[in-house]
Amino acid sequence: MLQLTPIVTHIAGYRFVPVEDTQATLLEIEGFSHGLGILGTVFLASEGINISIAGNLLAVLTFRQRLDQDSRFCGIKFHETYCQKIPYSKLNFKTKKELVPLGVETVHAGESEHQYLSPAKLKQWLDEGRDFNLIDMRNTFEYEIGSFATAKHLNLKKFKTLKQRQTEMSQLDKDKPMVTFCTGGIRCEKAGPYMESQGFKQVYQLDGGIIEYLRQTGGSHWQGNCFVFDERITIDSQLRTQPMRLCLECQVSLEGQDSMFSGANDETESGKPEGELCPACQQRKQVDHVAI
C-alpha cells in the first residue's frame, strides 16, 4: 500500500513594533508553543518579532491563533511553504538587540518614505525593461546561489556591513528608482531607510520579498535557487525544497568541490551539529591550528 509522507507547513513572518517587556513576552510565547509539536525559532527584540516555525497544519494554525491574542502581533503576514519534514531540530526562543543587525542608530524600520512594490509590478517593470536599480540586499553567498538576472549586489558578507559599502553605492545613480529585495523582506525594512539616508530619492521594497515574488510569478526573471535559513538549505522557483551542500564556515556551495567534515562539536543555530568545509576554509582552519 502506498504511504504518503505527511505535509509539513512552514511559516515565516515578522513585525516591527515596540516591545518593552521582551523577556516576559518571550516567556509567554514559549509557554503556549511547547506541546504543539512545532519546531523553529522565535526572535524577539525591543523593535519587534521574527518567527520561523514548522509543524503540521493544525499545530501551526493553533500557534497563529494564540499569537493573535497579543494585539502587537495580531495579523502578522506569514509566508507559507510546504515540505516533507520539519526543517529544524529544535524550538528556540531568543531575545536580540536588533532583529536585523545594522548598527546604525539613526535608522529605524518603519520610519522612512520608502514604498512597497508588489511582485506583479516588479515583474511588469522587468518585462518592460524599465531602467532602475534592482539591489539584492542579501549576503554574497545567497546572491551566488540565485538572484534576479539583472540584480546588482553590494558585496555584503553580512548585512551589517551595508554601511561600509560606500564604493559600491557611489556607482549607483541616486536619481534612478531603486528596488531592494531580500528573502522575506525583513532586511529591506532597514535597508530602505538607510539608502534614503544616503541620498537615494526613489526607494522601493519588494513587498513580501523573494518568497512572495516566486509564489506570485513562478520565478519569472529569477535565476537559480533561493537560500532559506533552515535545513531545507534552498528552494527553487516553485518553492520546492532543493537541498544543497554548503560550507559550514563561509556557506559557499560545495557542489563540484572536494570537502571534508569539520569534526566540530558545536551546534549550529538550527541544531545541526556539524557540517562540511570547503578547501579554503579547511586550509585556513589548519593554519589557525598551527598558529595556536
What is the C-alpha separation between 159 and 104, in angstroms, rounded? 12
Classified as helix, coil or strand, 216 is helix
Asked if residue 270 lies in contact with residue 88, where contact means CB atoms within 8 angstroms, the answer is: yes
Cα first-last separation, the chain:
58
Q: Which three cell numbers stand for residue 287?
A: 593554519
Dihedral sign for Cα 85, 11, 89, 56, please.
negative
Hunting for cell 515596540 — which residue is that? Answer: 18
Q: Active site includes 182?
A: yes
Among residues 182, 226, 278, 281, the one annotated as catalytic is: 182
DSSP 132: -
What is the C-alpha separation between 19 and 96, in angstroms, rounded? 12
Q: Which three cell numbers stand for residue 209?
A: 520579498
DSSP 246: B
Asked if residue 211 lies in contact with residue 81, where contact means CB atoms within 8 angstroms, the answer is: yes
Classified as helix, coil or strand, 145 is helix
Among residues 262, 258, 109, 256, which one has the least CA distance to residue 192?
109
Q: Residues with catalytic annotation? A: 182
